[in-house]
Amino acid sequence: MKNVQFVGKLEAHHVKDRIVNKMFRKHLADFSIIILIFLIDRVSKIFIIGSPEVYDQYGISITSFLNFNLIWNEGIAFGLFSFDKKLYYNLLTIFIILITIIIIWLMLKSKGFERFSFIMIIGGSLGNIFDRIFYSAVPDFVDVHINNFHWFIFNVADIFITLGIIFLIGIEIFNDKKVKNENY
């Protein structure tokens, strides 16, 4: 009788392994893209942090409207919610991690271009979370400007996050119009 129970547990373990392997294979491409986005962001930041020219007043001039100028962002997007107190910074970081976990869940439940949009957001978010934990700030360096008007300085991860959000908004607008047209 004891052996039968053991065999039953062993079989349940194999079923669980097969389910996990199937899920892993199903989402391998998704997580590969997330890792690729993360790595693109990391390489860009490592390059900028290691470049002594970015520490000049205007950094590295790329074109007449683009500079690479390193700043350390302790807040969230565009420097919002920058705090002097470590407690607030840590709470904000935990909040960002929780939001990213929710977005991962949304990605797993979505399909098609919506899933790709979530993948872009997750890849960028993980890049910035890594920086928040490793550096206690996020290195931003892309400085877009027209003459003396400078936009907020951002990084490659922010580009992916922003594009993912824009795509999700576009999907919602397109689906809303589609639903309205079907009702008429």
> Is the sign of the CA dihedral 113, 118, 123, 125 positive or negative?
positive
Q: Are 66 and 81 in contact (CB under 8 A)?
A: no
- Cβ atoms within 10 Å of 97's Cβ, excluding its own: 14
Q: What is the pLDDT tens value at each position of the chain, 184 positions in all?
A: 555 555 555 555 566 667 667 667 777 899 999 999 999 999 999 999 988 776 666 677 888 888 888 988 886 654 555 555 778 888 888 999 999 999 999 999 999 999 999 999 999 999 999 999 999 999 999 989 888 887 888 999 999 999 999 999 999 998 866 666 666 5
Can you say whether residue 147 is alpha, beta or left, with left for phi > 0 and alpha for psi between -120 and 50 degrees?
Answer: left
Using alpha carbons, select from 35, 133, 58, 127 the residue that is nearest to residue 92. Answer: 133
Instruction: Give 6-34 as a DSSP string.
Output: HHHHHHHHHHHHHHHHHHHHHHHHHHHHH
- Check if the beta carbon of residue 112 is closer than 8 Å to that of residue 155: no
- The whole domain housing 93 covers 2-183
> Contact, 166 vs 124, CB < 8 A?
no
> Is residue 158 annotated as a catalytic residue, yes or no?
yes
Q: Are 38 and 130 in contact (CB under 8 A)?
A: yes
Q: Say what the pTM is.
A: 0.78
How many separate domains does the chain show? 1
Residue tagged active-site, from 30, 131, 140, 143: 140
**Known catalytic membership, residue 30:** no
